[in-house]
Amino acid sequence: MVKKNNTPPKLAERLLLWFLKEQLAEEVLGDLNEKFYSEAANGSLRRAKLNYWHQVIHYLRPFAIKSISSKTQNIMLIHHLKIGFRSIRSSKSYSIINISGLALGLASFLFIMLWVNDELQMDNFHSKSQQLYNVYQTIEEQSGNLNGSPNTPLSNAGALLLDSAESEIPEVKMVNHYATGYELPWGFPKTFRRGEKLFKLSGSRASPNFFEMFDYPIIAGSKQAAIKDISRIAISRKMALMFFDSPEEAIGKTLNYENNLDFQVQAVFEDVPQNSSLEFDYVINIENQILRKVEWASHKIITTYLLEEGANPDEVSQKLSAYLSHRVDENAGNKVSVGLQPFKDQYLVSGFDNGKPANGKMAYVKLFIGVAIFILIVACINFMNLSTARSVKKGKEVAVRKVVGSSKSLLVQQFLSEFLLMTLMAFALAVLIVFSLLPAFNQFTGKQIELPLTELWFWASLLVLAFMTSFAAGAYPSFFLSALVPARILKGTVRFSNRSRLFQKGLVVFQFCLSIMLLISTVVFTWQTNYIRNSNLGYDKENLIYVRIEGNLNPKYDLLRKRLNSMPGIALVDRSSEAPHAMNFETADPINWEGKQEGQVVSFKPVSVGFDFTKIMDLQVVEGRAFDRNIASDSNAFMINEIALREMGIKDPIGKWISAWEKKGHIVGVLKDFHTHSFKQKIKPLVVDVKEDLYFGEVIVRTEPGKTKEALASMEQVLEEINPDYPFSYKFLDAEYMKLYKSEETVSNLCNLFAGLAIIISCLGLLGLSMFSAQQRTKEMGIRKVLGADAGHILSKFSVQFLVLVAIAFLITVPLAWLLMNDWLQGFAYRIDLSWWIFALVGLIILGITLLTVSFQSFKLARINPARTLRSE
């Protein structure tokens, strides 16, 4: 006999019975059964089951399907829609407020979700994306601090390990290294030349299998040969077109690099897409760094592993760390372990907390998902409140319908379909808004988002969202309305029960809580960003232009300085080994000083400068003096900053010796602390020396105020004269400084926008509610007027009820917001204080907006002619 699990799939049978006409059930089930058993007897059971499903689905034919909606139901649906449409039209102002409020909310939701989706898509286009992991290192300092960094440990054993990972750890299928720091992804552009053509482009160095691991499609040349050896280069389509007529033509041709080496183009790849966190125009073999001395060794190498499918990254990183600890010298000081981070996370999770990847833009993405949901909830509450409020008008209709025998479920159906109709209109409007404002939004956020209008999932999720919204927003009013008792309504007007009034008020309060929360966050956020932007850095960042040191700029520096100083518009010239706003290099090791304790570790930012550095940057010297060109020993002198002084733990620093690398000299001065990098980090100890032969870094030029144009012309002329093999390129320090806060800037802008929208939506709700309330209270106010109340009295009488609600919301939100914001601000090393007046300001704004919203209705009420409103009684 047939075993139990050998029966046809139950689910398919249920599906069939659900749609199949009842009179066909017996024969069809019989036929399908027979087919199933004959198949099961001949072949595999699985196939038989699959075939059963196949057969069931093929019964989806007009002749066999139950007519889902009988004719009467069809008529009812049309009826519902007609009635819905009429009722939408009959109360225009309500409908406009309701639909536009929801549309605004939805549009904001869509905008935020498009942004979030775009952020989440970052680096997702690599076909092996799921198996790609970046190696990061965690250094346990002697103090016990865990310090994480995305760089591959380059100690001898570390490098050895990472190079042999493929053979040591079976899960690792492919290893790729690429250099960052001086190249990817910040890109110090390099000069390429072909004949007369001279361009600066940024790129990176990578292992030969770079193009096999990552999906940057090759459009000319071959993937394998691309960067197989150190004389070859792969360039982007854009770069190919800069030098050649077509990508194909570029293959086999040579390009000169930095006036030094020739590279043969072996492959042209498609321009790197927007959603790639690695940005580059060329790739050369990473061995170049060592073998051809392309540049002094970069201290930042990123390693990406391609793991076997299904390999557990935690296990792999444990194996790696275990292996590493075998090989590293026990006495090496800091303990290093390594971990793996999914490659596609590196864009959103870019920071480190306690040695592990954490923080970064992910926080903003989460924040905005929250905001999107907030706004949608606020919009839904609006809809709900307004619709419930409107039931006064609908009360009579409901009563009459009930009296003539309409069932409760039919009423619910009718109202839900009306709400669905409104929601769909709101959706259409929202899509229209998004569609027309997308270009502006893109400009605002610096993205290139497109509406996925051709994608099915977009429309499907939109539809699901529409149904969910209309249900969330329409369920309560529908059930509320259908539950009204006709006898009572027909006797008098609709009176809300205390409970439903309370519910309504509760919703308004909740809605305003959310909006106030958003507003407070925005104000604090904007304040903090402004604080960062405008606070005193400790130096004057205006009127500074800098040019990278390359070619002849170092060997002919004295000539350069003399020539520039004689040109119009230029106030001062100096140089520095690191850009003043982004001193990234940090080291503890080769730096010693008089009085250093045994085992004392201070991590310094070392920077080599010219003699005029303090002057050109407008730095303050708090102790001792600045470097002096006329004192011969100053070429070996050092300056430190106040923090360094504190951390070094020495007193009377002037005259004490310091040694760093091959240099030993005395401290001549202490600089007042200034910000050497972004505000998110604390100012670090700084050690400054003078270097006469500075072959890397920046030449800094201070222009005379208001003479930027002349200065640039002068610089161009002098640089072309001294450094003809390199195109003139420059950066403004203040603009570059602002770039450090690009993501904060965007987020702050978005916050402003969406907090504004949330407030507008809430106010639309308040407006609707006040309209409703005004309607209900016309008679009351009429009587008050007759009894001698003046307009002012009526105004205040009417407005107070709403002000109370908003005030309650405010009181609930403030402590919450205070806690939340305080927590957020802790993430900044330098931050504003949360003072009471920020909250007072928000309170005043909200109060003002509420009054403004309500006043329209209250004025209308105050001006009514009681004779007319009271007549009907």
Partner 1 sequence: MKETRLGEFEEVILLLVGILEEDAYAFKISDEFEAQTGRSVSIGAVHSTLNRLSEKGFLNSEMGASSPERGGRRKRIYTITALGHRVLTEAKDFRVSLWNQFPGLANG
Q: Which residues bind partner 1 (CB under 8 A)?
A: 26-35, 37-38, 54-55, 58-61, 63-64
Q: Which is nearer to partner 1, 1 or 453 (CB)?
A: 1
Q: CA 170, 171, 173, 174: dihedral to nearest 10 degrees? A: -100
Task: Report, in Å, the least distance between residue 236 CB and partner 1.
Answer: 51
Task: Report, in Å, the least distance between residue 44 CB and partner 1.
Answer: 17
Task: Report, in Å, the least distance between residue 60 CB and partner 1.
Answer: 8
Residue 734 CB-density burial (10 A; 0-12 exposed, 13-18 middle, 19+ buried): middle
Q: What angle do CA 520, 525, 526 make, to 5 degrees?
A: 100
Q: Which is nearer to partner 1, 34 or 692 (CB)?
A: 34
Query: For residue 221, what are the β-bridge partners?
Result: 267
In this structure, what DSSP letter does residue 636 have? G
Task: Report, in Å, the least distance between residue 280 CB and partner 1.
Answer: 53
3-state secondary structure 294-335: CCCCCCCEEEEEEECCCCCHHHHHHHHHHHHHHHCCHHHCCE
Phi, psi angles (nearest 5°) of residue 152: -75, 135
Q: Which is nearer to partner 1, 9 or 189 (CB)?
A: 9
CA atoms 74, 76, 82, 85: torsion sign: negative
Q: Which is nearer to partner 1, 41 or 819 (CB)?
A: 41
Task: Report, in Å, the least distance between residue 61 CB and partner 1.
Answer: 5
Task: Report, in Å, the least distance between residue 54 CB and partner 1.
Answer: 7
Q: Which is nearer to partner 1, 47 or 742 (CB)?
A: 47
Q: Are strands 663-671 and 335-342 parallel, antiparallel or unpaired?
A: unpaired
Task: Report, in Å, the least distance between residue 20 CB and partner 1.
Answer: 10
**What 3-state DSSP class applies to 287?**
coil
Helix, strand counts (H, E) of the chain: 27, 26
Task: Report, in Å, the least distance between residue 70 CB and partner 1.
Answer: 21
Q: Which is nearer to partner 1, 30 or 170 (CB)?
A: 30
**Please, are residues 22 and 66 in contact by the beta-carbon 8 Å criterion?**
yes
Question: Measuring CA to CA, which residue among 224, 225, 233 is closest to residue 204?
Answer: 233
Q: Which is nearer to partner 1, 28 or 428 (CB)?
A: 28
Provide the phi-psi class of 810: left if phi over 0, else alpha when psi is between -120 and 50, else beta: alpha
Task: Report, in Å, the least distance between residue 74 CB and partner 1.
Answer: 23
The CA distance from 193 to 422, in Å, is 63
Token duo for residue 283: 């790739």
How many CB atoms neighbour CB 7 within 10 A? 15
**Please, are residues 190 and 202 in contact by the beta-carbon 8 Å criterion?**
yes
Q: Which is nearer to partner 1, 32 or 376 (CB)?
A: 32
Residues in the chain, how many?
873
Q: Which is nearer to partner 1, 37 or 732 (CB)?
A: 37
Contacts of 27 (CB under 8 A, 6+ apart): none
Task: Report, in Å, the least distance between residue 124 CB and partner 1.
Answer: 39
Task: Report, in Å, the least distance between residue 51 CB and partner 1.
Answer: 9
Q: Which is nearer to partner 1, 33 or 659 (CB)?
A: 33
Q: Which is nearer to partner 1, 17 or 120 (CB)?
A: 17
Task: Report, in Å, the least distance between residue 71 CB and partner 1.
Answer: 20
What residue type is 527 in one-letter code? W
Strand (E) or helix (H) holding 178: strand 172-179
Q: Which is nearer to partner 1, 34 or 229 (CB)?
A: 34
The CA distance from 745 to 731, in Å, is 20
b/e per residue, 308-346, with b = 16+ CB within 10 A? eeebebeebbebbbebbeeebeeeeeebbbbbbbbbbbb
Task: Report, in Å, the least distance between residue 55 CB and partner 1.
Answer: 5
Task: Report, in Å, the least distance between residue 19 CB and partner 1.
Answer: 12
Q: Which is nearer to partner 1, 58 or 326 (CB)?
A: 58
Contacts of 158 (CB under 8 A, 6+ apart): 137, 152, 324, 327, 328, 336, 338
**Please, are residues 482 and 411 in contact by the beta-carbon 8 Å criterion?**
yes
Task: Report, in Å, the least distance between residue 21 CB and partner 1.
Answer: 11
Q: Which is nearer to partner 1, 26 or 873 (CB)?
A: 26
DSSP readout, 177-190? EEEBTTTBTT---E
Task: Report, in Å, the least distance between residue 73 CB and partner 1.
Answer: 25
Distances (CA, A) of 340 to 209, 322, 656: 20, 14, 44
Token duo for residue 809: 């919301």
**What 3-state DSSP class applies to 66?**
coil
Task: Report, in Å, the least distance between residue 47 CB and partner 1.
Answer: 13
Contacts of 639 (CB under 8 A, 6+ apart): 614, 621, 624, 626, 627, 667, 668, 669, 670, 671, 687, 688, 689
Phi, psi angles (nearest 5°) of residue 269: -110, 155
Q: Which is nearer to partner 1, 28 or 807 (CB)?
A: 28
**Please, are residues 839 and 818 in contact by the beta-carbon 8 Å criterion?**
yes
The CA distance from 231 to 264, in Å, is 6
Task: Report, in Å, the least distance between residue 28 CB and partner 1.
Answer: 7
Token duo for residue 680: 């998110």
Q: What is the Cα Rg of the chain in Å?
A: 36
Strand (E) or helix (H) holding 854: helix 836-862
Q: Which is nearer to partner 1, 18 or 63 (CB)?
A: 63
Q: Which is nearer to partner 1, 29 or 832 (CB)?
A: 29
Q: Which is nearer to partner 1, 5 or 536 (CB)?
A: 5
Strand (E) or helix (H) holding 352: strand 351-353
Question: Measuring CA to CA, which residue among 649, 669, 855, 670 is closest to residue 766?
Answer: 855
